[in-house]
Amino acid sequence: MTDRSRELFLKAQEVIPGGVNSPVRAGRAVGVDPIFIQRADGCYLWGADGKRYIDYVCSWGPMILGHRPPEVIQAINDALENGTSYGAPTEMELNLARMIVETVPSIEMVRMVNSGTEATMSAIRLARGFTGRDMIIKFDGCYHGHADSCLVNAGSGLATFGIPGSPGVPVDLARLTISLPFNNLEAVEATIKKFPDEVAAIIIEPIAGNMGVVLPDKGFLEGLRKITRENGILLIFDEVITGFRVSPGGAQELYSIMPDLTCLGKIIGGGLPVGAYGGRRDVMSRVAPDGNIYQAGTLSGNPLAVAAGLATLMILKNKEIYVRLEEKSRFLFSGLTDAAKRAGVDIVINRVGSMGSVFFGKNPVVDFGSVKHTDTSKYRSFYREMLAQRIYLAPSPFEALFVSLAHNEKIMKKTIDSAFNSFKKLGNMQ
């Protein structure tokens, strides 16, 4: 931590809980205080003391084009000339909605909100209202925002700090959320058999990104789709991270699975705060004012966020970009695998497209249980070594790393070389 960041962090702790506005940023899982960021460009961040870092957090995913892409900055500036917020409909939000509907396979109608948490919270309320049922099923280690219904065995910050839930969540509400092991269809079947006609929805990150990256086993998502259809349960895909990241149409396009509802965020705002939920027309038409299930938001469809999102998605319409992202990501993560092998350190890398995770250990990582059995102390040391070499990784073993269009081969070679040096030090410590 630099002197200027330390000074800012001490001041922040006087007025902000923990000195940060989102828990993982505090860096406690990796034993460091946070670096305060001054600016960003391309694949770089500059700290408050002016030191430059190669960024693989990418604002936790949305900066798929890199920081400050000219087209997005221009779109924001153009929108800013007309105002910052109207609380009224605009043509731009219509255009963004059309682009989402055209691109994401399962979405026939979409409603804009302000965050991923709002998107999942709204989708769950809609599922309960549509089905007339109260229970939801989620999966251990999957994080769907900080709404009360979702803070049961969640990932992300809760996993980072070892918090199983949160005080303030009513026990009666927590009882309506059942959390099951990821990739375990038998547990899902047994639960639905135990609670027939009570489960409104199954919500899942189709590719988990909040316990680190964990891939669905072959047949798992297909099995969920079959079970939900047979039992009148809505299937909700939380694609806040994977939407427009692993493919233009998200994980559902990648795996050819059609959920009933989809939650989006991150990339569709081009780096600005945004979220959305959408899906089947008959379900979405139950949302007010057409229907009787209420959801609202003054800043939903904010013109600056919509402008940034539109500019980003327009660029991503070129599918060649995803080919390039795949090539970059394969180069980086295969290079990390080779570097660990040369250094004599055991790692497991889970990757889909331009998102992946480095786990320390030998065994496959397939669910939250296996994630928790990886060597998080080694990740802690690895993080600190990489930071010292100006490589900025997620400050938690339970988060993903992201590759952007701005990362080039020279930068990734430097990252791999830095990783080899870090792995060597870890190997010497064994």
Domain boundary at 259, 294, 316, which? 316
In terms of domains, do 154 and 25 share one? no
Instruction: Phi first, then psi: give them for residue 325, nearest 5 degrees.
Output: -65, -40
- Same domain (yes/no): 50, 87: no
Mean pLDDT of the chain: 93
Coil, strand, or helix at residue 134?
Answer: coil
Distance CA(401)–CA(358), nearest Å, equals: 8
* Nearest-angstrom CA–CA distance, 113 and 118: 6
CA distance readout (Å), 5 to 10, 59, 312, 389: 9, 18, 31, 17
Q: Are residues 342 and 403 in the same domain?
A: yes
Q: Is residue 235 part of a domain?
A: yes
Backbone CA torsion sign across 265, 396, 247, 58:
positive
Rounded-to-integer distance, Cα 105 and Cα 258, Å: 7
Question: Does residue 362 form part of some domain?
Answer: no
pLDDT at residue 25, rounded to an integer: 85
Read off the amino acid at residue 42: G
User: Do 398 and 307 belong together in one domain?
Assistant: no
Cα distance between residue 334 and residue 331, in whole Å: 6
Q: What is the CATH number of the domain that holds 282?
A: 3.40.640.10
Q: Are 163 and 299 members of one domain?
A: yes
Residue 430 has pLDDT above 60, yes or no: no
Query: How far apart, in whole angstroms, are the C-alpha atoms of residue 46 and residue 26?
Result: 18
Which pLDDT value is given to residue 84? 96
Q: What's the mean pLDDT in 8-25?
A: 91
In a domain, 167, yes or no: yes
In terms of DSSP bridges, do strands 109-113 and 275-279 run parallel, antiparallel, or are they unpaired? antiparallel
| Residues 390-402: tens digit of each pLDDT | 999 999 999 999 9
**What are the catalytic residues?**
143, 238, 266
Task: Tell me which of 104-108, 136-140, 337-341, 426-430 is least confident.
Answer: 426-430
What mean pLDDT comes out for the span 255-267?
A: 97
What's the pLDDT score for residue 38? 96
pLDDT at res. 160: 37
Per-residue pLDDT reduced to its tens digit, 201-229: 999 999 999 999 999 999 999 999 999 99
The number of distinct structural domains making up the chain is: 2
Q: What's the pLDDT at 165?
A: 60
Q: What angle do CA 319, 320, 323 make, to 5 degrees?
A: 105
Same-domain status, 144 and 276: yes
Position 134 in a domain: yes
340 has pLDDT over 60: yes
Residues 279 and 416 grouped into a single domain: no
Provide the residue range defining the domain that includes 265.
70-316
Q: Is residue 191 located within the same domain as residue 271?
A: yes
pLDDT of residue 162: 41
Contact 105, 252 (CB under 8 A): yes
Residue 123 identity (one-letter amino acid): A
Residue 77 makes CB contacts below 8 A (sequence gap 6+) with none
Average pLDDT for residues 350-373, to the nearest whole number?
96
For 264-305, write each residue's pLDDT tens digit. Answer: 999 999 999 999 999 999 999 999 999 999 999 999 999 999
Asked if 90 and 238 sit in the same domain, the reply is: yes
- Is-contact 339 358, C-beta < 8 A? no
The encoded tokens of residue 98 equal: 């059309």
| Nearest-angstrom CA–CA distance, 384 and 312 | 33
> Do strands 109-113 and 177-180 pair parallel, antiparallel, or not at all (unpaired)?
unpaired
Name the domain boundary from 263, 297, 316.
Answer: 316
The secondary structure of 150-192, three-state, reads HCCCCCCHHHHHCCCCCCCCCHHHHCCEEEECCCCHHHHHHHH
Mean local confidence (pLDDT), 185-195: 96
Residues 27, 44 within the same domain: yes
Residue pair 183/216 in contact (Cβ under 8 Å)? The answer is yes
**Nearest-angstrom CA–CA distance, 74 and 270:** 12
Percent of the chain at pLDDT exceeding 90: 87
Q: For residue 183, what are its two tokens?
A: 């990739």
pLDDT score for 155? 44
Q: Does position 245 have pLDDT exceeding 60, yes or no? A: yes
Q: Is residue 357 part of a domain?
A: no
pLDDT of residue 401: 97
Percent of the chain at pLDDT above 70? 94
Q: Are residues 169 and 277 in the same domain?
A: yes
Residue 383 forms part of a structural domain: no
Please state, in angstroms and rounded to a whole number, the distance separating the CA atoms of residues 177 and 182.
Answer: 15
What's the pLDDT score for residue 153?
56
Domain harbouring 47, CATH code: 3.90.1150.10
CB of 274 within 8 A of CB of 305? yes
State the DSSP string of 225-293.
HHHHHHTT-EEEEE-TTTBTTTBTTHHHHHHT---SEEEEEGGGGTTSS-EEEEE-HHHHTTBTTTSSB
pLDDT, one tens digit per residue, over 26-52 is 888 898 999 999 999 999 999 999 999
Do the domain assignments include residue 240? yes
Give the pLDDT confidence score for residue 159 in this predicted structure: 42
Together in a domain, 122 and 12 = no
Give the tens place of pLDDT for each residue, 145-187: 877 677 665 544 444 334 446 677 777 777 888 999 999 999 9
Write down the pTM of the prediction: 0.94
pLDDT mean over 111-123 = 96
Please report, for residues 12, 188, 216, 238, the alpha-carbon distance to residue 203 in angstroms, rounded to integers and kept in the order given.
36, 12, 14, 7
On whether residue 418 sits in a domain, the answer given is yes
